[in-house]
Amino acid sequence: MKNRRISIVLFALFVLIFNAKAQTTQNKDPQIVQMVEEVSNQNLESLVRKLVSFNTRHTLSDTLNKTTGIGSARNWIKTEFERYAKNSGGRLKVSFDSFVQPADGRRVSQETVLKNVMAVLPGTDTTDKRLIMISGHYDSRVTDVMNIKDFAPGANDDASGVAAVLESCRVLSKYQFNATLVFIAFVGEEQGLYGATHLAKKAKDEGWKVHLLLNNDIVGNSYSSETNIRDNRSVRIFSEGVSPAETKEQAALRYSTGYDNDGTARQAARYIKEIAERYVDQLDVKLIYRRDRFLRGGDHTPFSAQGFTAVRVTEMNEDFDKQHQNVRVENGKQYGDLPEFLDYIYLQKVTRLNLSTMANLALSVQEPENVKIITGGLTNKTQLKWDKPKGKEPFGYYVLMRETTNPVWERKIFVKGNEALLGYSKDNYLFGVQSVDNGGHESLIMIPKPANK
Ligand SMILES: [Zn+2]
């Protein structure tokens, strides 16, 4: 009797553990493990402190002084990218993306030449047009958004994001990828997302295949003085469910399929969570199902407005006494966005999140095309079909599956051919298909469109 009870308890325990541990198979690429290792918290700290040293990086500040103001800041960022270009064997292409921003009667008082700073590492597969982008904004501000003189350190907002961009570039540009990597320090964010708006429009006009933009804004702080919460494990990925560029036909498809939660930004967010948690220890990626925080905007938004896949990466617990504040002490309390308030080990984790996602995606082959779910007849099974990707051949595919209420994929089923027949009803689950190469690198996930055959 006692033995029987013990075995029931053991069985229950087994069921519990089995359920909790479903989907733990992880295929780590030693080369990506190496890249992740190379991200240095000391480098990140010195990058942030260097950006703070320009006194202000206000978009309308001095462009001529050699050591202070936005001009010296952007020149230094360009020089830093050029330093990495030397170690890339000349493959990394560095440039200013310059444009004239007219006065807007709001936060830009007069016509001004603005410059994003960019570095592009071309992919090795010339048939692969995917661009995988990472950004932060290098401009800063104090309480008065028009104040162009006072000390505006912007250590967290957003020297932290620019440091993540630079450090990712330093490491990644030494390696080779199928797809093209793009590293950007945006200008004009605080004045109205002007740098990102300019580049997003240019990308649309020139037909760039922007596959994913990871926009890093406020990613260096693990403590909030307001709530007294210290959390160096969690990071948020903001993603919208429905693209603002959705057409009527796409909306009709969404209504009929229940794909409200399966827009490209949200798929990308799931992808980031899976890959970053595979490669970065002690990191919990929180999927936030909205475009951005209340009262705030970011440089991913102009890209999603143009129909590109773009998400925002931001720390879990923001300290609003540090952001957009004049640097001052009031009632014994320090205000202002100073570098000593950042947690550089945390920033290292967030940088590793970006870097591992970019590396895995850029090393993958392209995603399958024409992915279909066959809805020609009433059946309790699910049939999926697809065409192979352009460019390099995949090793195979993963069919992904989850319950309609589950935020993340539950199963990854490896398939060698170009179709799958599953013993689960298409009415009760959501499905996706991604390519996988022989190194285990996955493409982004394609959601099937209903088709008769
Ligand atoms: Zn910002």
Q: Which of 363, 396, 418 is the last residue of a domain?
A: 363
CA atoms of 276 and 284, how far apart (whole Å): 9
Q: Is residue 9 part of a domain?
A: no
CA atoms of 119 and 96, how far apart (whole Å): 9
Residues 359 and 370 in one domain: no
Distance 216 CA to ligand 1 centre (A): 8
Q: Is residue 6 part of a domain?
A: no
Helix 30-38 / helix 264-279 crossing angle, nearest 10 deg: 80
- State residue 2's pLDDT score: 53
Distance 425 CA to ligand 1 centre (A): 45
Angle at the Cα of 50 (from 45 to 54), degrees rounded to 5? 145
- Residue 351's domain comprises 30-363
Distance 137 CA to ligand 1 centre (A): 7
Distance 146 CA to ligand 1 centre (A): 16
Kindly state the tokens that stand for 136: 């932060």
The answer to whether residues 280 and 32 touch, using CB atoms and an 8 Å cutoff, is: no
The answer to whether residues 287 and 234 touch, using CB atoms and an 8 Å cutoff, is: no
CA atoms of 418 and 439, how far apart (whole Å): 19
The stretch 142-157 carries a mean pLDDT of 96
Nearest to 413 by CA among 391, 382, 387: 382
Q: Is residue 174 part of a domain?
A: yes
Residues 391 and 258 in one domain: no
Q: Is residue 4 part of a domain?
A: no
Residues 353 and 392 in one domain: no
- State residue 430's pLDDT score: 98
CA atoms of 353 and 215, how far apart (whole Å): 12
Residues 127 and 221 in one domain: yes
Distance 302 CA to ligand 1 centre (A): 14
Distance 217 CA to ligand 1 centre (A): 5
Given pLDDT bands bounded at 50, 70 and 90, which one contains residue 46? very high
Distance 158 CA to ligand 1 centre (A): 5
Given pLDDT bands bounded at 50, 70 and 90, which one contains residue 22? very low
Nearest to 48 by CA among 322, 313, 339: 339
User: Strand (E) positions, 48-141?
Assistant: 93-101, 112-121, 130-137
- What CATH number is associated with residue 435? 2.60.40.10
Q: Is residue 66 part of a domain?
A: yes
Q: Is residue 159 part of a domain?
A: yes
- State residue 14's pLDDT score: 46
Summary mean pLDDT of the chain: 94
On the question of pLDDT at 380 being above 60, the answer is: yes
Cα dihedral angle (44, 352, 185, 147), rounded to 10 degrees?
Answer: -60
Given pLDDT bands bounded at 50, 70 and 90, which one contains residue 21? very low
Q: Tell me the pLDDT tens digit for each residue of 252-291.
A: 999 999 999 999 999 999 999 999 999 999 999 999 999 9
CA atoms of 176 and 80, how far apart (whole Å): 20
Distance 330 CA to ligand 1 centre (A): 24
Given pLDDT bands bounded at 50, 70 and 90, which one contains residue 25? low
Expressed in angstroms, the distance from the first to the final Cα of the chain is 57
Distance 207 CA to ligand 1 centre (A): 27
Within 179-285, residue ranges assigned H as helices are 189-192, 194-205, 248-257, 264-279
Residues 254 and 397 in one domain: no
The stretch 326-335 carries a mean pLDDT of 94
- State residue 19's pLDDT score: 45
CA atoms of 58 and 145, how far apart (whole Å): 9
Distance 42 CA to ligand 1 centre (A): 22
Q: Tell me the pLDDT tens digit for each residue of 238-257.
A: 999 999 999 999 999 999 99
Three-state secondary-structure class, residue 154: coil
Distance 124 CA to ligand 1 centre (A): 33
Question: Residue 266, CB half-sphere, CA atoms under 13 Å: how many?
Answer: 19
CA atoms of 192 and 145, how far apart (whole Å): 11
- What CATH number is associated with residue 175? 3.40.630.10
Residues 346 and 376 in one domain: no
- Domains in the chain, number: 2
Residues 205 and 298 in one domain: yes
Distance 87 CA to ligand 1 centre (A): 30
Residues 301 and 443 in one domain: no
Residues 426 and 415 in one domain: yes
Distance 229 CA to ligand 1 centre (A): 21
Distance 156 CA to ligand 1 centre (A): 8
Q: Is residue 254 part of a domain?
A: yes
Q: Which of 363, 394, 429 is the last residue of a domain?
A: 363
Distance 208 CA to ligand 1 centre (A): 25
CA atoms of 71 and 112, how far apart (whole Å): 12
CA atoms of 283 and 357, how far apart (whole Å): 14
Q: What are phi and psi of 7, to 5 degrees?
A: -70, -30
Percent of the chain scored above 70 by pLDDT?
94
Q: Which of 345, 363, 381 is the last residue of a domain?
A: 363
Distance 48 CA to ligand 1 centre (A): 14
Instruction: Identify the residue with better confidence: 412 or 7.
Output: 412
Helix 41-52 / helix 160-172 crossing angle, nearest 10 deg: 130
Distance 57 CA to ligand 1 centre (A): 12
Distance 438 CA to ligand 1 centre (A): 39
Residues 347 and 322 in one domain: yes
Distance 211 CA to ligand 1 centre (A): 23
Which amino acid is located at 334 in the chain? Q
Given pLDDT bands bounded at 50, 70 and 90, which one contains residue 448? very high
On the question of pLDDT at 15 being above 60, the answer is: no
Q: Is residue 240 part of a domain?
A: yes
Distance 313 CA to ligand 1 centre (A): 11
Q: Please state whether beta strands 223-224 and 229-230 pair in parallel, antiparallel, or not at all (unpaired).
A: antiparallel
Q: Tell me the pLDDT tens digit for each residue of 215-229.
A: 999 999 999 999 999
- State residue 27's pLDDT score: 83
On the question of pLDDT at 40 being above 50, the answer is: yes
Residues 226 and 97 in one domain: yes
Residues 43 and 62 in one domain: yes
- State residue 197's pLDDT score: 98
The answer to whether residues 81 and 94 touch, using CB atoms and an 8 Å cutoff, is: yes
